[in-house]
Structure 1
Amino acid sequence: MSELADIHPTIQLDETVERKNESEHHWAIKAAITHRFRSDPRYVGTIETEKKTADLIGDVRCQLSESPIDVPRQFVVEVERSSSNKDRLRATIQHLRFGFDVYWIFTVDATDARRQTESLLGEHMSSPPSLGVASLPDGEISLGSPITWDEFEIPSPFLGQHEFYIPTYDRGVDCFDHGDFRVGDEDVTVYSRPERNGVYVSRRLDGGQRTLPCQAPWDMDEFLEELRKGDIKRISPVRGAP
């Protein structure tokens, strides 16, 4: 018997969403969320499913030029069931580091997982997170509130040795922007040139101006060690290819 036999008549699905190696129920929630975004003229941009942020696949990935005032322009939606075993803290950090805010949505049978995730993520936020809920029979799909870069304090150190990782789909670009770091009392942007095996930095000047990128003056291993110890801190998401 189909898992969608008792789906509420108010729920509409985007039938163009491809079903991957997943349950019919999980696919239907993704298709319902996708339909909601694509059918609402306030959302303008790219709305896709099973797409990567870095090398982590999000259930729904949105890169928008226009959105409602309370919705970010770039975000992913992750749908979780009671049987899901994803490392949600690590996934949240990975998405945030690559510039994507995160909505977590839990099915109604995943109450314990939802509470555990609220507690887990809440340890790194100034206020408790508000996570979404999905119930197809009841016609309910609430997004909750997004986890954003500005309100989430990434544990330090965390994955320091991978701070200059370039996703596989960007390794052919000429320049990759790894974002901003605080080094002592100075803010720098770090770039790499994959084909030239070089690392460059641009310093922020008074008035918001920046210097032209120049060869990094420090040894990469030393930089990563200081990052691992927390003496150097990331202060912005990865920006990626210009």
Structure 2
Amino acid sequence: MSGFEIWGDVDRYRSAGEESDEHLWGKVELDRRRKDKRKPWFEGEYRFEKKVADRVPDCFVRGEGLNRWIEFVAGSDQPYRAKTREALRLGFVVHWVFHTDHREQMHDVREALEPELEGPIRFGEYDPLNGLLTVGDPVTFKNYEFPVESMREFEPRSLLGYRHGAAHIARQEYSYDLGMFDLAGCQRRIFTDYPQGKYFRAVAPGQAFDTATFGFPTEDGLERLVEDEQVTRLGPVRRRDAAE
């Protein structure tokens, strides 16, 4: 016996695999708070166990100007770093929420995200027995440095899921908008003309697309910067639409 009850039609909250009642409760309670407008709740559309590119978050919320990705942890191992980076790349801030019986996993997520995680951050907690639910502070581009680790970051076909891939990336005069980056201390929005990531353009903040030189930076030059750990993603891939 779990010691608590989950009532109502809960099938839409369930994951595809085996799931504990403790994990399921977090999603159900989050939606109850939305309906009752009790904290924590957010303006926007809530979707549970729905695919975003190649990931299936426990819940994501599409809101006005801010999208949230919420993950509940109740003992199972999680790819904390990979999920966090993917969510940020896709334009979400990330809330990690832990069952109070598994607070030790807060150390695991902090360890996985350091040293890129900057400053103090409070992760969320939940406890079905006591009706506790907080979502804590989100991981964002403001408190998490996103180092670029390979040239796949500049391949549209490798981003936003293998099925749709580049089809969801915004384009400017047929060039894919890969988002804003720091290149050895210089901020530029990077575009590429091909799904496999060739022939780049770098546009300075506030400048028009046609001010960029075609073929600069070169692929070799960009790859050297990545190898030298001189490239950081500063914002998400610019998406053509927000609908899934």
TM-score range, shorter chain: 0.7 to 0.9
- Which protein has the bigger strand share? 1
CA RMSD across the alignment: 3.1
Match of 2:204 in 1: 204
Contact 1:134 1:142 in 2 (8 A): yes
- Match for 1:162 among 139, 152, 155? 152
Partner SS, residue 144 of structure 2:
coil
How far is 1:15 from its partner? 3.7
Task: Map 1:80-159 to 2 at 5 A.
Answer: 80-82=73-75, 84-121=76-113, 123-154=115-146, 156=147, 158-159=148-149
Pair 1:35–1:198, CA change in 2 (3 A): farther
Determine the C-alpha separation between the residues in 2 that align with 1:234 and 1:114: 25
Match of 1:31 in 2: 28
The alignment of Structure 1 onto Structure 2 pairs a total of residues equal to: 226
| Structure 2 unaligned residues grouped into runs of 5+ | none
Task: Map 1:151-190 to 2 at 5 A.
Answer: 151-154=143-146, 156=147, 158-164=148-154, 165-167=158-160, 168=162, 169-173=164-168, 175=171, 176-184=176-184, 186-190=186-190
Match of 1:69 in 2: none
Determine the C-alpha separation between the residues in 2 that align with 1:196 and 1:121: 29
How far is 1:79 from its partner? 0.6
After superposition, what is the alpha-carbon deviation per residue over 1:100-146, rounded to whole angstroms, capped at 9, x for unaligned?
A: 11111111221211233235435433322201111111111111111
Determine the C-alpha separation between the residues in 2 that align with 1:196 and 1:124: 28
Match of 2:12 in 1: 17
Contact 2:98 2:106 in 1 (8 A): yes
Pair 1:138–1:103, CA change in 2 (3 A): same
Pair 1:36–1:180, CA change in 2 (3 A): same
Partner SS, residue 182 of structure 1:
strand
Pair 1:197–1:185, CA change in 2 (3 A): closer
Query: What's the % identity of the aligned pairs?
Result: 21
Matched, 1:74 2:67: yes
Match of 1:220 in 2: 219
Q: Higher mean Cα deviation, 124-133 or 47-56? A: 47-56
Determine the C-alpha separation between the residues in 1 that align with 2:11 and 2:135: 21
State the 4+ residue runs in structure 1 displaced beyond 4 angstroms: 11-14, 193-200
Match of 2:4 in 1: 6
Pair 1:32–1:203, CA change in 2 (3 A): same
Match of 1:70 in 2: none
How far is 1:203 from its partner? 1.7
Q: Higher mean Cα deviation, 42-51 or 13-22? A: 13-22
Give the letter for the 1:227 counterpart.
V
Contact 1:177 1:189 in 2 (8 A): yes
Determine the C-alpha separation between the residues in 2 that align with 1:122 and 1:128: 11
Match of 1:40 in 2: 37
